[in-house]
Structure 1
Amino acid sequence: MNKHDEELELHLKPRTTETVSIKIPTETLRSLEKVAASQDISLEALLKLYTGQSLRQDLVKLFL
């Protein structure tokens, strides 16, 4: 590790969260679980990833 790498520090700010409940077709949920397992992440993490990616894409379109 060089000196430059040692100086980098990641600072995360905690964000408030809310719990939501949605109905998803069982088949879709099973597919999501398979994808999450194949990427070695939790179902919750996969859903957050998909939501974040789609949200960013839509926000870019909104503000162009």
Structure 2
Amino acid sequence: MNKLEEELELHLKPRLTETLSINIPTYTLRSLEKVAASQDISPEVLLKLYIGQALRQDLAKL
């Protein structure tokens, strides 16, 4: 590994998680799957991105 690669190495800390089950309309899930596929990510990852973005916006307003 060269010096640049060493400087760019990520050190991710695992975060505690909990499972949450939600009911969403079928057409909403299909739309989520379509958008996720277009971005080559899973619907779960896309949903986490959406939640994270909206949460950061709302927290910034507080």
With the shorter chain as reference, the TM-score category is: 0.7 to 0.9
Percentage of pairs with the same residue = 82
Question: Where does structure 2 lack aligned partners over 5 or more consecutive residues?
Answer: none
Question: Where does structure 1 lack aligned partners over 5 or more consecutive residues?
Answer: none
- TM-score normalised to the size of structure 2? 0.88
SS in 2 for 1:33: helix
The CA deviation at 1:40 is 0.4
User: What root-mean-square deviation, in Å, do the aligned CA atoms of Structure 1 and Structure 2 show?
Assistant: 1.4
1:17-45 deviation digits (Å, cap 9, x = unpaired):
00100000001110000000000000110
1:56 is matched with: 56
- TM-score normalised to the size of structure 1? 0.85
The CA deviation at 1:4 is 4.4
1:24 is matched with: 24
